[in-house]
Structure formats: structure tokens, C-alpha cells
Chain A
């Protein structure tokens, strides 16, 4: 009886060891690739919100090359700010920063960028979310994201300002109003909170950073 039990324990132990080693091995072989995929995805999104064009973006090497050439990373209060250099590399074209918030089914992480003079939105994109596919999931589609592109930001900074507001489709009148996604009010509102929150949080810091940079490059 004891022998049987001991065998069961030893057998299970050995088998677990074997299978976990196999899984670890598979992971080890692919680890670099998985990390590269994640990095590539982030770089693509940063370039996209900063409006930096990539020739043939389906080629990973192109994305990496353009990113290294045009984007500089500045750490501000522990958060990365991605700065895009202008085409002549002499000035800065825009600043991208992360945004996040609670969606309907889970957290939404995204990225948004503002222009050099902090007076315009350059772009908005989403890194990951778990919204309903076909409904809230459509925030990743260009049709929705492009609504933010080029929208003016008021110069005066008020605390907790509402920069953007979502409205039911076809009722949008002013430029800072965004068409909500029909059937996905929860997600649309979540995006509104995220975008406004991120702008309120980052614009003051970016204004300071901009001043410092202007002093450095007269």
C-alpha cells in the first residue's frame, strides 16, 4: 500500500517535472519573439498616434528603424513620454503618452499624442482592451480614432477640464464632440473619461517640459 502511494507521488512529481521543463523550453525558445512582438506593437502605436509615417509598416524592420530614428523617450514622473522629432530632426513634432481606464469588461490601455505646441491632438490609439468585439471593440477602428485627430485643445488649462465629450451619433455639433459607438455607450463613455483624464494629467507636465526644451534650443 505504502509502496503504491510512494509510487503515485514519485510518478506525479516526475511527470510534472518533465512537462514543466517542456513548457519552459518552448517558452525559452520563443521568449525573444514574444517580447519583440509586444515591443513592435507599442512602437507601431506610438508612431501611429504621433503621425510619423512608416513605409510598408507590415515589415517589422521598417517600424523599428523609423522608431529609432524619429522617436526619443523621456521619462516624466516615472511615465514614458514619446517625443517625435520633426522631419528635419531639429524640433519636436509631438508628444505621445499612455492613457488607461476601466472599460466595460476590463481595463483599456491606450496611447495618445498632442502636437508640439500642445494645441492639437495628433492621434489616439488603443494598446489593449477586452470590449465586446464588433461593438465596444470598434474603438480600435480608424473611423472612431480619427475623430480625435487634429482636434483643437483650448489654451487655458482648467483643472479637471472636459476636453472631449461623446455624443450619440449624428448629434455632434462642435469639434470637441465625438461620435459615440452605437450600442456601446459604456465603452464610449470610458474612452471619454480616459482621454480627458490623460489630457488633464499630462498637459501641465508637457507645458513645463516644452518650456525647458525651448530654452535649450533657441
Chain B
């Protein structure tokens, strides 16, 4: 795989086809785990791990898997990796595992992962599939970290649990609660879509 192809994959995953603000996928966890940067970072890393390895596995098996049962196979692969992540978090980062609660397990149903398996890994070689998964996972993690940065800063007055705003700062409680997530995510999507460079209109625009 030439470096140019890899670059293209990353531009797509991080920007042009960013799973969160372009495709509006993975929103459930993007809303749920973004009130503390620390939890968000672990969630992002978990998702990067699962997306890239699921993509690799689906790609390795792509020529043997009968296409009629491919969804079942993909779910099995994704679920296995997610449970492995869950076990590892429980063993090595018990506090964060507890804070993330059911959302680690719910990575199984995160549309980004199955979306990448279906759209890319199913019909591409192993290495590009790995990079594609990595890029999509990174795209997800970066948006979540942006949202979490503002939610934690305004809601708790801290960044990565380090207080940065003076103690007199009135915490914006709403930022910690679900509505804060909706507002922040909405603002991020709006800003990125209206201020960011627009992707070139595609011939096969999907509307």
C-alpha cells in the first residue's frame, strides 16, 4: 500500500467521511461518555482498537465467508473484540471501566464498526482495512474529545481532572447532563459543516 493511499484513507476517516460529524454515526456513545476527558479518551482508544481489529479480521476472512451469513460473522467478530476490551478494562482500569458502565459493551452496536466492515473491509485487503479502521476510530475519538473538552471545562472547570478554572467558577451543570451533550455535539457538527472546507461534491451524491 503506497503512502498516498494511506493518506487518503486518513483524510476520509478524520474529515471527509468522519463517522460522527459527516455520517452522524456512533452518536449514542458520543453523547453518553463525553462529560469527562479521561473516560472519553479510554472510550476512543477502545473504539479504535475494535474498529481496526474487526476490519482486519473481516478482511482476512473476506474470501471464505459466505456473503449470506456475513453480518452474523461480523457481529461475532466485533462482539468478541468488545468483550476482550471490556475484560481488559475491568482488569487494568477498574475505575474507568466502572465509569463507562454499559457503554463499553454497547460498542458492539456502534454503527461505525459494522459500517466500516460492510463498506470497506469486506472488499479490501488486510492492510488498507486496518488503516481504514484506524482512521475511522481516530475520527470518532477526536470529535468526542473535542466535545468532552468543552463539557468538562464548562461543567467541572477542569481538563483531564486537573482544575483549570478558578474555584469561583460557576459550574455549568447542564454541560454534565445529557442536554449539554446534545448542544455541544450540535454546535460541533454545525461549526465543522459550515466553517470547514466543504468536500468536493461527488458525482454519486447520496443526498
Contact = CB atoms under 8 A, between A and B. Distances in A.
B94 to A, nearest CB: 4
Given A23-B80, A26-B84, A132-B176, A12 B69 contact: yes
Nearest to B33: A133
By secondary structure, the B interface counts as helix
B101 interface: yes
Interface residues of A, number: 26
A210 B61 CA distance: 66
Contact of B90 (A11, A12, A37, A130): A37
Nearest to B156: A134
Contacts, number: 67
Nearest to B175: A134
B76 A15 contact: yes
* Range, interface on chain B: 20 to 34
Contacts of B68: 8
Contact of B87 (A16, A34, A41): A34
A33 B91 contact: yes
Contacts of B203: none
By secondary structure, the A interface counts as helix
Given A133-B99, A135-B177, A19 B77 contact: yes
A150 interface: no
A159 interface: no
B76 A16 contact: yes
Contact of B176 (A20, A128, A133): A133
A134 B88 contact: no
A107 to B, nearest CB: 13
A183 interface: yes
B30 to A, nearest CB: 15
Interface of B: 35-36, 61, 64-66, 68-69, 72-73, 76-77, 79-80, 83-84, 87-88, 90-92, 94, 98-99, 101, 155-156, 171, 173, 176-177
Given A11-B69, A19-B77, A30-B87, 8 more contacts: A12-B72, A20-B80, A34-B87, A34-B94, A128-B98, A133-B36, A133-B176, A135-B173
22 contacts: A7-B66, A11-B73, A12-B69, A12-B73, A15-B61, A15-B76, A16-B76, A19-B79, A20-B80, A22-B84, A23-B80, A23-B83, A27-B87, A30-B88, A33-B92, A128-B98, A130-B101, A132-B177, A133-B176, A134-B171, A135-B173, A135-B177
